[in-house]
Amino acid sequence: MSQFKLADSRQRAHFRRSHNGLRTMGWLLLTLALTIGSAWSDLPTPPGARVDRPNQEQVQNNRPTSNKEQLRTQTQPRIVKRLNTTQSEPGLSENTEEHNYELLEKGGPRWLPFGGDWATAVFTGLLVIVGVVTAIILIGQLFLLKRQVTLSREEFIAAHPPRLSVSNVVIRRSNHSNMTWFWVGEQIRGQLYVTNIGSGVAKVVHSHCQVFWRQGTLPMERPYEGEEPNEFLQYPELVPGAPATGLFDSGDRLMGKEYGEVQQCSSSWHIWIMGFIEFADTKGFVRRTEFCRVWKMPDERFFPVEDIDYDCEV
């Protein structure tokens, strides 16, 4: 678990560095695009464009006429008076206008090292590059967002793994008499419930349940060590909160003449229902739940043992 948290912290740090780098690049490209757009808006008319200089007669002819003037023109000829205007500085406006038209005909101001067509082509190419890089940044942001969601999900699974709880272990009464639980030569059968009390889905890998009785306490080595799991839990997955029923029996071992002592827990005889469940979470990490219940009288039921070697979560 510590190794997973260390790897997750490294991935999150790498995500933050990548996100900050892409954000800085995005601001730089945005500034460059605004600068190019501002410069492009001030460009003069390209050199290939036709520039018509208006004369005095065109200006006079293009002036809109009123209804009275139209009526007067139809009844009598129009008299055009030419007014002489005086200028404070003769020739200044004409020189300025001539200079502006020369700049337009040459394709731009003289500070440009090339013509207006080349400037337009270069700035258009730069805008295309900015658009492509912006699209790449957006795709990268989407990828990083998806990765962040995956990391958050993995972190949640690590913090809230599936957990299995075994409860309500019961056995069937003897076929010989309803007054007793055990009888000579009979098989012990019963069932139990397994519930996922965690937050993630548990995929059952192996399961085993065994009925074990003997005179004395639990042995140092668990009786089912080295045996093939009998897969008593026939559920491939356990979702959180949904209980599953597991059926078990004593297999080839039948109850002997000690059935009376076993039922009354006398002469140091005890009977246990024990086993394990191996399961994996959605990331493939395998966990194991060991369980063990002991028969007690006069309650006539099974209780968990206080032994971490037999009843624990690994």
Q: What is the CATH number of domain 164-313?
A: 2.60.40
pLDDT of residue 117: 65
For residue 53, CA distances in Å to 101, 162, 241, 310 come to 8, 84, 86, 103
**Hey, where are the domains in the chain?**
2-156, 164-313
H or E element, residue 35: helix 2-41
- Answer for the pair 119, 43: CB distance below 8 angstroms, yes or no: yes
For helices 2-41 and 116-159, what crossing angle results, to 10°?
160
Q: Which two tokens stand for residue 47?
A: 């050199």
Per-residue pLDDT of the chain (314 residues; tens, 9 = 90+): 444 454 456 555 655 665 566 566 666 666 665 565 555 444 454 445 454 555 555 545 555 555 555 545 455 555 444 444 444 455 545 555 555 545 445 544 444 454 556 667 777 777 888 888 888 888 888 888 888 887 877 777 777 789 999 999 999 988 887 788 999 999 999 999 999 998 889 999 999 999 999 999 999 999 999 999 999 999 999 999 888 999 999 999 999 999 999 999 998 999 999 999 999 988 889 999 999 999 999 999 999 999 999 999 87
Residues 6+ apart with CB under 8 A from 53: 101
Tell me how crowded residue 211 is: count the other CB atoms within 10 A of its CB: 21
Q: Give me 58's structure tokens.
A: 């065109």
Q: Are 277 and 205 in contact (CB under 8 A)?
A: no
Kindly report the pTM of this predicted structure.
Answer: 0.56
Q: Which of 26, 28, 132 is nearest to 124 (CA)?
A: 132
What's the rounded Cα separation, in Å, for the pair 109 and 112?
A: 6
Place of tokens 């839990």: 233
Beta strand pairing call for 189-196 and 237-238: unpaired
CA distances from 289 to 17, 166, 209, 266 (A): 40, 9, 12, 30
Closest CA to 108 of 38, 36, 40, 32: 40
Contacts of 121 (CB under 8 A, 6+ apart): none
Q: Check if the beta carbon of residue 296 is closer than 8 Å to that of residue 270.
A: no
Spatial separation of the C-alpha atoms in residues 170 and 158, rounded to whole Å: 34
Say if residues 204 and 264 touch (Cβ distance below 8 Å).
Answer: no
pLDDT at 178: 78
CB proximity list for 236: less than 8 A, separation 6 or greater:
203, 204
CA–CA separation, 149 vs 163, rounded Å?
24
pLDDT of amino acid 314? 78
What pLDDT score was predicted for residue 228? 94
